[in-house]
């Protein structure tokens, strides 16, 4: 029987943990709540000098102003295209290479695996990367944002480890039935790896959506700027990169425009994550820990 003092101690510990987690959650959610509140504020709320958490005069003026900018709308389209194309190509190439490296008895797998690990330790310089992309005639194309990072070494290693955990008997029995490697990969390996594939796809999608430095390096045409570059210009310069069409009202404060662009950039990933969250932890842990 547990002594009463131990029960009281467990009760206090549980509530202390709950309070700490609530405080941490509030601290983490506060910046986003502040950004969201400022984006809906008007000039009177901003110039009052008070901390805006609940706008006194909520308005959609900043969002209307931002969405009238051809640069923001076009940047959203470029980012969406980059996520769809980039994630699809990344997943195909990573899955194929991970399956090839996990096959036992295939010559050269250790060499290529060490080459992959080497890229995690020695990354090319910015000048080298730029010269390679320019030599391939990818400057000012959407492919400059996709092909150079088509296979992430960390994601490849995690997926390869997960593939190695699949029972060898399943693959051997399929080979005895005359199935090809591509057939085995598509019909056996991929269905058994949905958790890890979803986690890796989330990694790639978030990386493509948030990345801006490669676009600054390889893209000179403003028509091909992704939304992350638009956000950077808005935050640093305090204004939209392109002229806005004729607005029906005066321009909102710069700070509300900046926060509105931040919200527009952040919300798509926040909407995507809940659908893949159930696969996220299970997929990464299974691919990383199991031996």
Q: Which residues contact 124 (CB under 8 A, 6 or more apart)?
A: 132
Question: How is the chain split into domains, by residue range?
Answer: 4-58, 63-289
Phi, psi of 69 (to 5 degrees): -85, 125
pLDDT over threshold 80, residue 81: yes
HSE value, Cβ hemisphere, 13 Å, CA-based, for 227: 30
Residue 108 — pLDDT band, cuts 50, 70, 90?
Answer: confident
pLDDT over threshold 50, residue 144: yes
Task: Looking at the structure, give the CATH architecture of the domain made up of residues 63-289.
Answer: Orthogonal Bundle (1.10)
Enter the DSSP assignment of 244: B
**Of the given ranges (37-51, 143-157, 187-201, 269-283), which has the lowest mean pLDDT?**
269-283
HSE value, Cβ hemisphere, 13 Å, CA-based, for 215: 24
Condensed to tens digits (0 to 9), the pLDDT of residues 39-68 reads: 888 877 777 766 667 777 788 888 888 887
Phi, psi of 211 (to 5 degrees): -70, 135
Most confident region among 212-216, 238-242, 246-250 by mean pLDDT = 212-216
* pLDDT score for 67: 80
Please, are residues 205 and 83 in contact by the beta-carbon 8 Å criterion?
yes
- To the nearest 10 degrees (0 to 180), the angle between helices 254-289 and 227-237 is 130
Q: Comparing 10 with 267, which gets the higher pLDDT?
A: 267
Phi, psi of 244 (to 5 degrees): -90, 145
Q: How far apart are CA 236 and CA 265, in angstroms?
A: 15
* pLDDT score for 247: 46
Residue 259 — pLDDT band, cuts 50, 70, 90?
Answer: confident
- To the nearest 10 degrees (0 to 180), the angle between helices 194-210 and 227-237 is 40
């Amino acid at each position: 029987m547990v002594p009463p003092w131990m029960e009281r101690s467990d009760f206090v510990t549980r509530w202390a943990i709950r309070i700490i987690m609530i405080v941490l959650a509030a601290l983490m959610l506060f910046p986003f709540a502040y950004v969201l509140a400022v984006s809906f504020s008007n000039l009177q709320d901003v110039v009052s000098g008070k901390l805006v958490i609940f706008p006194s005069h909520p308005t959609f003026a900043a969002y209307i102003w931002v969405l009238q900018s051809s640069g923001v709308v076009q940047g959203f389209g470029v980012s969406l295209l980059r996520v769809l194309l980039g994630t699809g190509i990344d997943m195909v190439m990573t899955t194929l290479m991970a399956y090839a490296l996990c096959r036992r008895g295939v010559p050269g797998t250790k060499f290529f695996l060490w080459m992959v690990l080497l890229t995690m330790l020695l990354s090319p310089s910015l000048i080298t990367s730029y010269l390679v992309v320019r030599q391939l005639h990818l400057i000012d194309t959407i492919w400059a944002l996709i092909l150079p990072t088509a296979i992430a070494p960390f994601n490849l290693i995690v997926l390869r480890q997960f593939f190695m955990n699949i029972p060898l008997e399943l693959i051997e029995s399929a080979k005895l039935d005359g199935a090809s490697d591509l057939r085995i990969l598509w019909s056996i390996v991929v269905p058994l790896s949905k958790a890890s594939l979803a986690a890796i796809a989330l990694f790639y999608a978030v990386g493509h959506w948030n990345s801006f430095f490669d676009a600054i390096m390889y893209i000179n045409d403003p028509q091909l700027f992704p939304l992350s570059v638009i956000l950077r210009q808005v935050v640093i310069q305090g204004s939209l990169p392109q002229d806005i069409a004729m607005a029906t009202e005066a321009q909102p404060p710069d700070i509300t425009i900046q926060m509105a662009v931040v919200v527009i950039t952040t919300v798509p990933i926040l909407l995507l994550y809940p659908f893949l969250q159930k696969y996220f932890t299970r997929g990464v842990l299974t691919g990383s820990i199991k031996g």
